[in-house]
């Protein structure tokens, strides 16, 4: 079940600009082993290494999905937000694509309380209870609901901590990476040339600024999750 199986090819990655890193002045020296060249003042990542780690990550999520494990995908920067939501929905994963509430995982009890409030409000709205309230109160509850929807919409069916967390941008999502390491939750992280490759369990060196690059990496991971899930259902 190696690279050929996940259909990871270097040409496709080059077309998506996966190899373009940051400017050479904005790099983390720990990324040196993953960088193959400098071009016009930017670092170029070694796509053979990227392919190997991506394929390893696909194996990991496939195995986990085939055992019924739960995934959370996190990516809150503008470029990644829509991609994260659509990838997660396709693979029935939980997701966070708006600014995270700090301590979302480490203070799971608080998160659960918020989720319960969110579910209650949604039920009340569906049952038409808002319509029976004074205008001002109804407007306030609607505002609350849309705020909760933005922050918690992607995790509304989450009943416990995830088994694996996939992170789109290490710099942006540093707090979630820290929470996962405190809780011992395995992480798969997209890392650009300005990141620290030692922070996640599997780091995939890739351009985390280009939409095409983020989409390609997420698509491969999500396909592996979907395949794993279907074998879980067959054998379940």
Q: Domains of the chain, with CATH numbers?
A: 3-97+164-174+187-235 (3.40.50.10490), 108-154 (1.10.287.610)
Q: Which residues are CB-neighbours of 161 under 8 A, at least 6 positions away?
A: 105, 108, 183, 185
CB 173 within 8 A of CB 188: no
Query: Quick one: average pLDDT of 28-41?
Result: 89
Confirm if 28 and 174 have CB atoms less than 8 A apart.
no
Average pLDDT, the chain: 92
Q: Rounded mean pLDDT of 117-121?
A: 94
pLDDT at 6: 87
- Tokens standing for 161? 């901590």
**Does the CA dihedral 133-136-140-142 come out positive or negative?**
positive
Q: 134 or 1: whose pLDDT is higher?
A: 134
pLDDT of residue 190: 95
């Amino acid at each position: 079940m190696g690279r050929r199986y996940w259909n990871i090819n270097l040409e496709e990655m080059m077309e998506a600009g996966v190899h373009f890193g940051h400017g050479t002045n904005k790099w983390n020296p720990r990324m040196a082993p993953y960088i193959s060249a400098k071009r016009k003042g930017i670092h170029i990542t070694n796509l053979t290494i990227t392919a190997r780690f991506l394929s390893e990550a696909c194996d990991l999520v496939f195995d986990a999905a085939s055992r019924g494990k739960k995934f959370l995908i996190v990516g809150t920067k503008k470029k990644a937000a829509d991609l994260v939501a659509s990838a997660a929905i396709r693979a029935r994963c939980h997701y966070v694509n708006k600014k995270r509430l700090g301590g979302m995982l480490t203070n799971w009890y608080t998160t659960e309380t918020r989720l319960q409030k969110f579910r209650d409000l949604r039920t009340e709205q569906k049952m038409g209870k808002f319509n029976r309230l004074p205008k001002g109160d109804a407007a306030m509850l609607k505002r609350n609901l849309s705020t909760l929807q933005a922050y918690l919409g992607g995790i509304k069916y989450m009943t416990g901590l995830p088994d694996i967390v996939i992170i789109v941008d290490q710099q942006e999502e540093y707090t979630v990476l820290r929470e996962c390491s405190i809780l011992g939750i395995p992480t798969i992280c997209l890392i650009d040339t300005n990141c620290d490759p030692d922070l996640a369990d599997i780091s995939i060196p890739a351009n985390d600024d280009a939409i095409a690059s983020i989409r390609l990496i997420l698509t491969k991971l999500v396909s592996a999750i979907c395949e794993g899930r279907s074998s879980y259902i067959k054998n379940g």
